[in-house]
Each structure stands twice: as C-alpha cells, then as structure tokens.
Chain A
Amino acid sequence: MTRSDAQERDYEARETAGGQWTFALTGRIDAGNASRLLSEINHLLREKKPLRVTLDLSGVQYMDDFGVLLLLELKRHGPTGEGAFRILNPGPKIQEILDMMDFEALAEEHAALKKKRPPNALVRLGEASIRQFSEGRFALSFLGDVCLALGYVILHPRSLRGEDTIQAMQRTGVDAVPIVGLISLLLGLIMAFMSAVQLEQFGANIYVASLVSLAMVRELGPIMTAILVAGRSGSSYAAEIGTMKISEEVDALYSMGFNTTRFLVVPKILASVLVVPVLTLFSDLFAIFGGLIVGVFMLNLTAGAYVDQTIQTLSLFDVSWGFFKSAVFGLLIAYVGCLRGFQVRGGAAAVGQATTSAVVSGIFLIILFDSIFAVILTYWG
C-alpha cells in the first residue's frame, strides 16, 4: 500500500487484485495540486504497470477543469483496452463538471496542437514574389497619390493643413537641431583631427579647413542629416500612420470625406522637404566649427585664416548642390515613412515592422540617390 505524504492526503493507491490498481482521490483537485498529482500517479503507473486502473472519486469534494485534465491525462497514460480504465463514484457536482467539459468527447480526440509549419521553399519563393510585386505596385500607386495630392495643394494652397505642417516642421526640424548639431560638431572634430595628422607632415595644415568644409557641404552634411532624420522622423511618421491605420482612424478620415494622403502625408512631406536642408545648413556650420576648434588649438591656425580658407574652398554651386540633395532626401524619408505606415495590416507587431522598415528603406534610398547624384555630377560637371 502506498500513500501520498501525510500532510496532503489527496489520494490513496492500492492493489486490489493482481494487476488491478485503485486510486482513491480525495478532497480538492484544482490548479494548485493537479500537476503534482499527475506526475506522482503517472510515476506509479509507470512503475507498477497495472493491467487495470480504477479511479475512485467518491472522496472528491471539489474539482475544476484541472481535475478533468488530470483524469484525461491518466486515461491517456493508463492501460488501454475494454474496461481497463474506469472512473467510479463521481458525485453530482463532479459529474456536472465532467459533462460540462465534455469528458467523453475530449478523451476520444487526440489531435495535437499543430504549429503552423512553414510551407516548402518553392511556395515561399512564390509568395514572397507575389508580396514584393504587390508591395511595389502599392508603392507606385502611393507615389502617384502623393504627386496628385501635392499638385492639388500647390493649385489650392488653402487646402493645405497649415497647422499640421508647422507642427511637423517643428518636430522634424527644430527638435532635431541639438542632436544634429552635436553629431556634426563631433564629426567635424574627428575629420579635422584625422586629416591634421596626415597633412601636418607636409606642412599643409591650412588644407584641413578645405577638406572639412568641402566633405561636409557636398557629401557628409546632407547624408548625416538625412540619416538622422530618417531615424528620428521617418520612423515616427510610419508609427503614427500605422497606429492610426490599425485603430481605424484612417478609415474614419476616409469616411468623413477627407483625402487621407492630403490630410496625413502632404504636411509631413512638405515639412520634411523644407526642414531637412535647413538642418543640413546647421550640420555644415557645426562641423566647420568643429574643424575650426582643431585648427586653432592643435594646428596653430588663426580662426580668421581658417574661415578664409573655408570660404575660398566652397563655391555657391557646392552649397546649393548640398541643399538640393538634402531636399530630395527629405522627400524620400517622408515618402517612405508614410508609405510604410499605410502598409500596416493587423496589430501591434505590424506597426513595429513598419517602423523598422521605414528607417531601413529610408537609409537605403538616401544612399542610393546619393550615388545617383554622384554619377550625374561626374558626367555633368
């Protein structure tokens, strides 16, 4: 005769005849003790390997669905065959639970939860292609939408949501000045420092000014600023529109007769196109200032000479080319951010993906267009 521990006498097991075991359960069987009972009785079943098992429920006062689960699992692990597993004397309360949980039907079914298996490679390739294609089509039609909306706003300036635009300009531009300034300053310091080490050997200290200003104004200023804006604002556009999409706010706008592109996208694109060049200007200035610090304190240049050299190096074309590029980058960032926002379907996870994707595709487009501009300039200039 085996007995569970004296403190918690909730079952008793005895061998009534050869190979015939009876388990008498008593007291409460609920979420608190079901898993312990299950492992203990299962252990006994494995050890004694009975031919017939009887569960006596006459002493059970309360049982919830964890109790039903216990019975089910014991039945599954116990001996099989006609009459090999029997449940005796369930009280009226217990029988009610068994009926409610549909014990008989549950005992019959064995279908396990299946994980959704990924389909084979060919199917996945096909699905991915279709998805890419439809995404591309959506991106293209969204581009058309944006062009139409922009055109409309240019023809009807009063339809522009001015306040939204100003707010977007503040969030994309003004709020970004500190971080853009700091990073550019450090970048200017680093560039000047690195080039100073080399140029000093040739006594060409003054060309540090040329190098920093030209590199910043033509390439690094626009690119660094655009990447920062993509991370700060492209992501926030995507998250904002994506959340509006899943909470049916976009549908609400549409049903009120608003053109959603004009309402949500145009202010962001305009703000971004106007503000990114300004940020680039800040970036250029801070970087040149960073170079100046190195020039004055490490290379013994005078501030005047440094500034003179900078002004001599830069042409008006360099500066305006940089601004033109950053305006284009601003357009790309806002376009991709809004596009990813509108592509959100489903729930919270989709918003997260859209945000990531807005930044990644934003940066990719920035670099891609920068290369295109470089090629154009090479053949043109």
Chain B
Amino acid sequence: MAATTPVIQVKNLTARYGEVTILDSVSFEIQEGEIFVILGGSGCGKSTLLKHVIGLIPPYSGEVLIEGEDIVKCSEVRFREILKKFGVLFQSGALFGSMTLAENILLPVEAYTDLPKAAMETLVRMKLRLVHLGGYENHLPSELSGGMKKRAGLARAMALNPRILFFDEPSAGLDPVSAAELDQLILKINRSLGTTMVIVTHDLASIFNVAQRVIMLDKRAKGIIAEGDPVDLRDHHPDPFVRQFFNREAEE
C-alpha cells in the first residue's frame, strides 16, 4: 500500500452514552477509493460509530481525522468545509417529504454550486438516471417505494460528488433484488468515480458482494474483534464467534 494519508483515520475513539460505554478505544483507517464495511451484531455500536465519524456526535475521547484534519478539534467553519466532502445515505433515505425528488437533489446543488439553472436541471436528471430513477423528477417521496426512496436518497447524497459516501444500513428493509441492485450501484459509483464508501450493515450477502475490507465490532469487547477481507475472515479467523457471524450460525 502506498504511503498516502488515509482518507479517514479514527484514533482511540471512545463513545459513551451517559455512563454506558459503547465503544472503547477504537482505531482504524480507511484508504482512498476503498469500500469499507463496518459490521457487527445488533447493539454493537455500528451506527454510533458512524455518527461519530460524520461528526453528528462528539466523541467522549479520541480523534477522528478526515484527510488528515481532526473534525473534533477543528472550528465550526472548517467543519462545514469538511462536511462538503461527505455524502450520507440515511437509513430511510431522509428525503424531505414536502419536496419533489428534483427539489431534494437541487437543494445542495443550488447551495454549493453556481451552475446556470438549465445545467442544474440536467444534473438532476443525470443523478436520477444514475440511480435508475429517470422520469421520477416530479414525484414526491411519499409516492415511492422503500427501495426507490433509498436510491433517491443516494442520488441526493452524491449530488455534489463527495469524496466519501457513508451508508447507514443500505439494505435494511429492501427485498433481495432491490438490495442487490443497490450493491451494484455502489460498486458502479465506486469504480467510475473513485468514491470512498463506508457502509454500516449486517447484511451478509451485501457484505460479500461489495466489501473490500471490513471491521467487525462486538458488544462485549466494545470494539473491533476482527478486521480484513470478509471471505478470509469467514474461513480462517481464529475466533469462532466471527466465523459464526459470517456463516450465519446460531450461538451454541
């Protein structure tokens, strides 16, 4: 691996809700252009970790560095700048219900670019076509199915081609076909635009489809118990719990 700075570095991150420690001194790095999956059983702190990395919750202690910049210590103004490198796809899409899909996508485009109006509209059409929603520009989110909402949310998250895309449980609530389509979309965007992808999920099929590297969190260890290629972990990891997880076996 080249000696470039990792896109995301998390150093000794400790997360607490009140007195309860969720994550204890977690460290990992994500390289540019990587598809990185954070996984683990329910309640292990996957979503908490994601919220810390995108700066929604300040950590109890530790550092989160985006392209070498500490988002915990940096100023509010600087953090807004760093935020522009992100796109986040929330679990249910988080589209604004009172706006059409086109207006949802236009929102960041109008705020952060000075393209002419006609070009913006073309851009919106391109983004929607990219997620296979061409022709749905004037639909309201309430008129779409769950999978379509998620894809529309993805179109909005990548409206400005962020360097890093975060996904919170992308396949939750999707049928296998829609979930597989979303996986293909993730791979396609990663390949063509070189976007770094950070995915929080526990959907095994999707992990084996897209993940290049995974970290596995555990509730008891309050941190990372395994790291590496998912296939390798499934077959060779010394911890039986890890192998069970990847083989979808019940605990004895």
Task: List the interface of chain A (C-beta within 8 A of B).
Answer: 30-31, 34-35, 38-39, 62, 64-66, 68-69, 72-73, 76, 96-97, 100-102, 106, 109, 112-114, 116, 346-349
Contact = CB atoms under 8 A, between A and B. Distances in A.
Size category, B interface: 20 to 34
A96 B115 contact: no
Interface in B129-144: 129-130, 137-138, 141-142
Given A100-B192, A112-B118, A65 B161 contact: yes
A113 B114 contact: no
B75 interface: no
A65 B123 contact: yes
21 contacts: A35-B113, A35-B114, A38-B116, A39-B116, A64-B161, A65-B123, A66-B161, A73-B122, A76-B118, A101-B126, A102-B129, A106-B122, A106-B126, A112-B118, A112-B121, A113-B102, A113-B121, A113-B138, A116-B138, A346-B97, A347-B141
Contact of B119 (A64, A69, A97): A69
Q: Tell me whether chain A's interface is mostly helix, strand or loop, or mixed.
A: helix
A101 B142 contact: no
Nearest to A70: B119
A69 B122 contact: yes
B73 interface: no
Interface centre among B121, B129, B130, B194 (most CB of A within 10 A): B129
B50 to A, nearest CB: 22
Contacts of A96: 192
Contact of B130 (A39, A65, A116): A65
Contacts of B115: 34-35, 38, 69
Contacts of A68: 126
A68 B142 CA distance: 31
Interface in B156-207: 160-161, 188, 192-194
Nearest to A62: B194
A69 B124 contact: no
A106 B188 CA distance: 19
Contacts of B116: 38-39, 73
A113 B138 CA distance: 7
Contacts of B127: 65
B125 interface: yes
Given A72-B122, A348-B98, 5 more contacts: A65-B123, A69-B123, A72-B119, A101-B130, A349-B97
Interface centre among B130, B161, B188 (most CB of A within 10 A): B161
A348 B118 CA distance: 30
Contacts of A66: 123, 161
Contacts of B138: 113-114, 116
A348 B141 CA distance: 12
B87 to A, nearest CB: 11
B157 to A, nearest CB: 14
A112 B193 CA distance: 26
Contacts of B188: 100
Interface string B103-121: 0000000000111101101
Contacts of B98: 347-349
Contacts of B129: 101-102, 106
Interface centre among B102, B121, B125, B160 (most CB of A within 10 A): B125
Interface in B51-97: 97
A115 B146 CA distance: 24
A340 B177 CA distance: 39
B121 A38 contact: no
B142 A346 contact: yes
Contacts of B121: 112-113
Contacts of A114: 138
Nearest to A72: B122
Nearest to A111: B125
B119 A73 contact: yes
Given A106-B129, A347-B142, A31 B119 contact: no
